[in-house]
Structure 1
Amino acid sequence: MAGDHLSNEEFFTQLTNLFEHNRTKGHGSIYLTQKRLSYQTENAAPSPTKVLDDPLWDTHPEQAVPVIIHASNNKSTPYKGTDRKSIEKIKISTIVQPDQLDAFFARYAEACKTGMSGLKKRDRKKGKKDKKKKKGVAGDVKTETKG
Structure 2
Amino acid sequence: MDSQHLSQDEFFDRLAELFNRRKGSDHGAIHLTQKRLTYAQDCPPPTADNPFPDLNPGKPIPVIVRASNGKSKRERDEKVNLCTVVQPQDLEDFYTRYADVCKAGMTALKPRDRSKKKAKAKKKKAVS
TM-score, normalised to structure 1, is 0.69
Query: Which stretch shows the higher mean deviation, 126-135 or 29-38?
Result: 126-135
1:84-112 CA-partner distances (Å, limit 9, x unpaired):
x6220111100000011111112212211
In the TM superposition, what whole-angstrom CA distance separates every residue of 1:66-92 from its partner, at most 9, and x where no partner exists? 0000101122334xxxxxx62201111
Who is 2:31 aligned against? 31
Q: What is the CA–CA distance in structure 2 between the aligned matches of 1:25 and 1:112, rounded to whole Å? A: 17
- Aligned-residue CA RMSD (Å): 2.5
Q: In 2, Cα distance between the equivalents of 1:46 and 1:123?
A: 50
Asked if 1 retains the 8 angstrom alpha-carbon contact of 2:67 and 2:82, the reply is yes
Percentage of pairs with the same residue: 39
| 1:17 alignment partner AA | E
- Aligned AA for 1:119? K
Give the corresponding residue for 1:119. Answer: 110
Say whether the 8 Å CA contact 1:16–1:111 is kept in structure 2. yes
Residues 1-147 of structure 1 mapped to structure 2, 5 A cutoff: 4-40=4-40, 43-48=42-47, 51-52=51-52, 57-58=54-55, 60-78=56-74, 86-117=76-107, 118-124=109-115, 125-132=118-125
TM-score (norm 2): 0.77
1:50 deviates by 5.5
- Specify every segment of 5 or more residues in structure 1 that has no aligned partner in the other structure, as ranges: 79-84, 136-147
Kindly indicate which of the two structures has a greater share of residues assigned to helix.
1
Which of the two has higher C-alpha Rg? 1
1:15-60 CA-to-partner distances (Å, cap 9, x unmatched) read: 000011122543211111111112325x3343435553x6xx33x3
* Larger mean Cα displacement after TM superposition, 87-96 or 111-120: 111-120
Tell me which of the two structures has the higher relative contact order, counting C-alpha pairs closer than 8 angstroms and 6 or more residues apart: 2
Moved over 6 A (4+): none
